[in-house]
Amino acid sequence: MTETSAPHDTPVVGWIGLGDQGLPMARAIAEAAFPLHVWARRPASLGALAGVAYQAAGSVEELAASCDIVALCVGTDEDVEGLVERMLPHLRAHTVVVNHGTGVPATAIRLTERCAERGIAVVDAPVSGGRPAAEEKRLTTMVGGPEDAVQRCRPVFDAFSAHVVHLGGSGSGQTAKLFNNALLMLNQRSVADIVALAARMNLDLGALVEVLKLGSASSAALSLLNTMVRTDNVEHLSKVEALDMELFDRAMRDAGIEAGEVIERGLSGARGLPDLLARLNA
């Protein structure tokens, strides 16, 4: 494994998280000629980076000490905070820590305050589009954090994104992602309502969904059915969506906003996804 040749002022990017979206994002960064350092809990997972240049870090601490930007694409806020605490004594001043995972705004703000004590910036940059968009380098990246830190990271984000939107200060990227996810689940519930009514009229549900995709009713909730949302993964996706709605609930409570009706309907859309797909494929 060798470093990619790059200009002297090109930032060294550290990466943690080689999951469904994280792996193609890391590959895109290496393919864009950024020097890439990677740490993985399971060293065997590094094999998925075959064909691109990277340097394996022996520890989180080693990764922290060698990089200008450290990006995390891991499962939960707790994972992110635990890793940052391990890295913090080893991060150089002016390093930028980027969280690409989905979490609550309060965590982004807390990390920002914690890292600022050591002169380190934090950017929250969750992504939308799923693995297909990550592989095709057309993710939408929703960014919160200080302008100067965001601009330093922008070329890295461009490596895997079709759209990069800076929404404001710390936590605003996470807020946008939670609204994005909530609206998808609300739309799924609306699709389920329409499909249930159409079934009572004995319509061809598959044909109906296809024509709705072509008309003004089109939405991601429709287009994902039987494409990204399939019988082999729908149960898993339903559970992930329900967890995302719980994060949305927590964020609204933290902000002192009553959103019970939206949360209830969104959870219904998430939990009803398997039944919706089964009805369409009956």
Fold of 176-280: N-(1-d-carboxylethyl)-l-norvaline Dehydrogenase; domain 2 (1.10.1040)
Question: Taking the domain 13-169, which CATH number applies?
Answer: 3.40.50.720
Which pLDDT does position 6 carry in this prediction? 44
Which pLDDT does position 3 carry in this prediction? 41
Which pLDDT does position 267 carry in this prediction? 98
Domain limits of the chain?
13-169, 176-280
Backbone angles phi, psi at 49, to 5 degrees: -90, 10
Which pLDDT does position 2 carry in this prediction? 38
Per-residue pLDDT tens listing for the chain (282 residues): 434 444 447 999 999 999 999 999 999 999 999 999 999 999 999 999 999 999 999 999 999 999 999 999 999 999 999 999 999 999 999 999 999 999 999 999 999 999 999 999 999 999 999 999 999 999 999 999 999 999 999 999 999 999 999 999 999 999 999 999 999 999 999 999 999 999 999 999 999 999 999 999 999 999 999 999 999 999 999 999 999 999 999 999 999 999 999 999 999 999 999 999 999 999
Which pLDDT does position 9 carry in this prediction? 76
